Chain A
């Protein structure tokens, strides 16, 4: 059971926008602005797409954007494209004793 909660799957048609949620607690997402998002195509290495809640690394499409409210972070993908079909994971720094970083369980995005 992952520390951060993500919906298992989201599907939409090309060109649409989707928002993925990531719910944590007051020990992680609610406490720090150190939320990041990763895109993971099966068989490949994960790719950082959002850091520090809303920063987009160089080279990442501006169709990806991040935000946070309270204990929940969100990733929005606008103008959905076929190559966006992948698993998306959120992670956060945490103040918990048990670990320094926690991940969500991942959301499978399907482009219809």
Chain B
């Protein structure tokens, strides 16, 4: 079946970096965009950006330009989100999800990865 499986929870110090993975299975990897969405504690969902696994092009929400970097590995059908210079307010659950077009709804979601930034 179609699945997005994310890497496990992370605890990082402020200023550190973390790389979260999202492995796709059950469909042709290059035919769907992968989005990242985060939910901070007590907050709503927030769209971070997308990557097109076909060519690797990316688009980031303005708030997430600079410290966030999405990449993909087509050989393993995996997308990565690397976050650098972590701050306390990066503490959140990070979800990967897919959409067949940029305008399309997000029809399959990963289980979420909790990233905690704590000293």
Contacts and interface: CB of A to CB of B under 8 A. Distances in A.
Interface of A: 2, 32, 34, 36, 38, 40, 45-48, 50-52, 57, 87, 89, 91, 93, 97-106
A51 B98 CA distance: 13
A105 to B, nearest CB: 5
B62 A34 contact: no
Contact of B47 (A34, A51, A103): A103
Interface residues of B, number: 24
Interface stretch (B67-75, B78-86, B109-117): B109-117
Given A32-B103, A99-B61, A100-B59, 8 more contacts: A36-B106, A46-B95, A46-B97, A51-B105, A89-B45, A99-B47, A103-B37, A103-B46
B29 interface: no
- Name B's interface SS: mixed
B68 to A, nearest CB: 13
Contacts of A97: 62
B26 interface: no
Given A45-B112, A98-B62, A99-B62, A51 B45 contact: no
Contacts of B49: 99
A100 B44 CA distance: 17
B62 A47 contact: no
Interface string B33-71: 001010000001111011000000001011100000000
Contacts of A99: 47, 49, 61-63
A45 B47 contact: no
Contacts of B103: 32, 34, 93
